[in-house]
Structure 1
Amino acid sequence: MPGPKSGSGRRFNGASRADGIIAGRAGGSWQRGYTLIEVLVAFAVLALALTLLLGTLSGASRQVRWSADAGRAALHAESLLAQTGVGEVLQPGRRDGEFEAGRYRWTLEVAPYQDPARPSPATVDPFAPRLLQLRLLVTWGDGGPRENLVVDSLRLVPQDLTQGVVP
């Protein structure tokens, strides 16, 4: 029983394999392979997958860098707060400086702590120690919006009798 004829007058018997490749016999020879469209679609899918993978890896490396920078900023802040008030009398005011040749900049503000539940100043013992609030701001980053870390702390300091009573 003869098969269907192609436009060129040659016989074509098509057979389908389990892997999706169509094999056919035209003019006595077997032809196997992928069409140009199938190859182009495969390359497009591969390019899309690689683009997504590289985007994910780029985002992950950016997060690792930010995490390392934030960790170093936290270590610098902890170190600076540990040294504050050691060997010197802690006084209200503002100081600033930098770490690692300017990569990290810091500002320390020291002010008397105002407790909303604190009794009126007339009932406070003038010789009692006082609380000071420390606010440390550490900033870093290249251009654009900078990253920052804010650390608040309280310190109990003795009353400075040479400068009078501070409420």
Structure 2
Amino acid sequence: MIKSGHVARQSGFSLLELLVAFVIMAISLTMLFRASGGSARAVGVAERQQGAVLLAESLLSMRDSVSPAGWQDAGNSGGYAWQVRSAPYATPVEGPSVPKLHEVEFVVSWQEGTAARTLAMTTLIPERKVEGLGAPR
């Protein structure tokens, strides 16, 4: 005997509900992977830039003064191309006890994928005094 007016209700999800859930999950995972991929790229860029700063600081630590002729040098190290240039730096203060200064520029370049990156740092270094020139004996 079949009871009329009583419809059997199935429990569970319909096919449409499952498809919507999978689409939401796929979109969420795509956004998550893009965010983590961007973070990994940013870490790589920061590491290369930190290496460039470390190279420039190492070059600076090689000298505590500059000769009167200046400092001109270039080279390659660890995937970085570097260049050092100096020029006399004028100051309003002059005198026998005031050291002359040189403005020293460090330029470090490297390739990052297809893009060329450059880091430039500038500092002042005193000129080395030449001992014994013109001094009475």
How would you bin the TM-score normalised by the shorter chain?
0.7 to 0.9
Which of 1 and 2 has higher RCO (CA within 8 Å, sep 6+)?
Answer: 2
Equivalent residue, structure 1, for 2:70? 92
Name 1:110's counterpart in structure 2.
86
The residue matched to 1:91 in structure 2 has which SS? coil
Aligned 8 A contact 1:132 1:157 in 2: yes
CA distance in 2, matches of 1:112, 1:36: 78
**Cα distance in 1 for residues equivalent to 2:129 and 2:100:** 6
User: Structure 1 unaligned runs (5+)?
Assistant: 4-10, 14-23, 25-30
Deviation of the 1:33 alpha carbon: 2.1
Q: Cα deviations across residues 113-167 of structure 1 (Å, max 9, x unaligned)?
A: 134xx26xxxx44785310010001112235332222211111113548999xxx
C-alpha distance in 1 between matches for 2:69 and 2:132: 13
The whole-number CA distance in structure 2 between the counterparts of 1:162 and 1:50 is 73
After superposition, residues 7-156 of structure 1 pair within 5 angstroms as: 11-13=6-8, 24=9, 31-84=10-63, 89=67, 91-92=69-70, 94-100=72-78, 103-115=79-91, 118=92, 124-125=94-95, 129-156=99-126
TM score, norm. by length of structure 1? 0.66
Identity %: 29
**Native 8 Å contact 1:92 1:132 kept in 2:** yes
User: What is the CA distance between 1:94 and its match in structure 2?
Assistant: 3.1
Q: CA deviation at 1:32?
A: 2.4
Alpha carbons of 1:163 and 1:62: their partners in 2 closer, same or farther (altered >3 Å)?
farther
Q: Which moved more, 1:139-148 or 1:42-51?
A: 139-148
Distance 1:139 1:162, change over 3 A: farther
Cα displacement (A) at 1:59: 0.8
More displaced 10-residue stretch of structure 1: 48-57 or 124-133 = 124-133
Q: In structure 2, what residue type is equivalent to 1:133?
A: E
Higher Cα Rg, which structure: 1
Shift of 1:93: 5.2
Moved over 6 A (4+): 161-164
